[in-house]
Structure 1
């Protein structure tokens, strides 16, 4: 397959995943689109370095992560706190509110736990693939995933306990 067709096939296959990951990283649609464009440009320039097409998705995600890091090297951004969803004890039964609450809790995790969890749950990557993307060994990845889930579980239990006390 020639370079142009190989590139087009990669972009077609992974553009949606790249955008979803970019948006998760920056929470801004236009910045996410820019990150994906920069990723695609770098992928085109270094397409010959992709040896195993089965590793294309993790290769592209790695490029995107590096592009995101370059974004911070080039420009200083104002840091903004994540929106506080109010009293966490008031978690609604509405699925939309539950999803918002869960996303807020995930964003409270340290990045070392948040990123592997996102890559596994949303990206569908295995522990080994996450290790390749984040340049960590598989055991470290699995430990971080375990800790991330435990922290989320603790957050859920602590937000549920005030509701349970009100009912009893």
Structure 2
């Protein structure tokens, strides 16, 4: 029987956001230990998000590093009005866009096989309902890029819709619509996958 994808609990996400925001504010004040905690806590999320946006798996680590360099250089402007995580992911998005502009020869799309490989490598293991993330990642490649981004931000990284809207630079209602459509498509694809696998399971 299929287990539906489960997003991180709101309490866990809220606790993480509160902690990372506090560390960012402390780092802004010169606390070096807080800088280390801030980077360690959000490195995986930044890497996964950059991998989602970037078609070149070789560039993921460089872009993640660039994101943190930009963030640490801008900490003096961070006032905690939004969570440090959504602030950092917005910086990551700009870093990827800037890399596209520098490479101006050929804009790359997030829906390539390279994107899937990079995100799969960054995907945490043993997530309930995700079958180690592989099945979900395979299905995500079938989604339009904007819906996939909204799903990744809210359902995989656990951002509130309002903060996902800030990161994506679009209205909250648009994010909700994209997530709803992404969910509906994923459920349809999961049903189709199960329908194809059921005869084999019965014959086994």
**TM-score scaled by structure 2?**
0.64
Q: Which has the higher contact order (CA 8 A, sep 6+)?
A: 2
CA contact (8 A) 1:82 1:104 kept: no
Q: CA RMSD in A?
A: 3.1
Give yes or no for the alignment of 1:151 onto 2:182.
no
Q: 1:78 to 1:59 in 2, by over 3 A?
A: closer
Listed as ranges, the gaps of 5+ residues in structure 2 are: 1-25, 115-130
1:81 Cα deviation from its structure 2 partner: 4.4
Superposed, 1:1-168 pairs within 5 Å as: 1=26, 3-5=29-31, 8=35, 9-26=37-54, 30-52=58-80, 55-75=83-103, 76-77=105-106, 81-82=112-113, 95=131, 99-163=133-197
Listed as ranges, the gaps of 5+ residues in structure 1 are: 84-94
Provide the residue aligned with 1:91 in structure 2. Answer: none
1:22-54 superposed Cα distances (whole Å, 9 cap, x missing partner): 233336554221111111121122222211165
| CA distance in 2 between partners of 1:24 and 1:105 (Å) | 14
| CA distance in 2 between partners of 1:112 and 1:81 (Å) | 14
Report which of the two structures shows the higher radius of gyration computed on alpha carbons.
1
SS at match of 1:108: coil
**TM-score scaled by structure 1?**
0.76
1:130 Cα deviation from its structure 2 partner: 0.8
